[in-house]
């Protein structure tokens, strides 16, 4: 049985929660209090951060790496496209996610120029979604899962108004039970 060291409010953990749900993988979640982390979490991850997964004593941190691991360990249903170019594009979005998350955290910290910086990144997402229905290409997958936790949090916790294309993409994402469940977690924060 896979164990996820988890935190409800953590969007990186949300990536893993959504991927596990999409793959229908049974797991045990251990909630970590990020304000008062147990010392032993550093034995699982030297940075002390969540998410971390553990399976038969084997430990893996880093949400982007965990998502790829789950994709390979549980290939069905696929969350990366068959076409190498589409797979590369999905990985590029994931690699560059902090273009969006840096201004998101700046807004949470109340930094003055955060809102225009965030709006500029949301406009980039909107441009991409004008060309393709999902961030990774034609089909929903890891790139969408990598971004949707922050988008849900900016909508629900920061009252950010999304560009129409991004809003429509979120509505499509919310049709997936795995993403709807995450929206429920955010609503309860």
Ligand X SMILES: N[C@@H](CCC(=O)N[C@@H](CS)C(=O)NCC(=O)O)C(=O)O
Interface contacts to ligand X, rule CB under 6 A: 7, 10, 12, 34, 48-51, 62-64
Least distance (Å) from ligand X to the CB of residue 76?
Answer: 24
How is residue 188 written in tokens?
A: 């309860």
- Check: CB of residue 35 under 8 Å from CB of residue 58: no
Q: Say how far apart CA 187 and CA 158 lie, in whole Å.
A: 12
Least distance (Å) from ligand X to the CB of residue 62?
Answer: 5
Minimum CB distance to ligand X smaller for 60 or for 174: 60
Minimum CB distance to ligand X smaller for 168 or for 185: 185
What DSSP string describes 32-79?
Answer: --TTS--TTHHHH-TT--S-EEEETTEEEE-HHHHHHHHHHHS-SS-S
How is residue 132 written in tokens?
A: 């393709």
Minimum CB distance to ligand X smaller for 67 or for 129: 67
Least distance (Å) from ligand X to the CB of residue 150?
Answer: 10
Minimum CB distance to ligand X smaller for 48 or for 133: 48
The beta-strand segments (E) located in the chain are: 2-6, 27-31, 52-55, 58-61
Q: Say how far apart CA 132 and CA 81 lie, in whole Å.
A: 13
Minimum CB distance to ligand X smaller for 51 or for 103: 51
- Residues ≥6 apart with Cβ < 8 Å to 89: 136, 137, 143
Least distance (Å) from ligand X to the CB of residue 165?
Answer: 26
Least distance (Å) from ligand X to the CB of residue 94?
Answer: 10
């Amino acid at each position: 049985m896979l164990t996820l060291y988890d935190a409800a409010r953590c969007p990186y953990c949300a990536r893993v929660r959504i991927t596990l749900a999409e793959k229908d993988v049974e797991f045990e979640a251990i909630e970590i209090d990020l304000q008062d982390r147990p010392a032993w979490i550093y034995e699982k991850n030297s940075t002390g951060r969540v998410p971390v997964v553990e399976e038969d004593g084997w430990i893996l941190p880093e949400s982007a790496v965990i998502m790829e691991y789950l994709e390979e360990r549980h290939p069905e249903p696929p969350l990366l496209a068959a076409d190498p170019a589409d797979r590369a594009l999905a990985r590029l979005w994931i690699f560059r996610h902090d273009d969006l998350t840096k201004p998101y955290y700046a807004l949470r910290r109340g930094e003055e120029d955060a809102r225009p910086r965030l709006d500029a990144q949301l406009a980039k997402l909107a441009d991409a979604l004008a060309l393709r229905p999902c961030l990774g290409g034609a089909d929903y997958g890891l790139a969408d899962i990598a971004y949707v936790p922050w988008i849900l949090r900016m909508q629900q916790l920061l009252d950010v108004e999304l560009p129409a294309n991004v809003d429509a993409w979120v509505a499509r994402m919310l049709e997936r039970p795995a993403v709807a469940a995450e929206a429920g977690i955010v609503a309860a924060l």
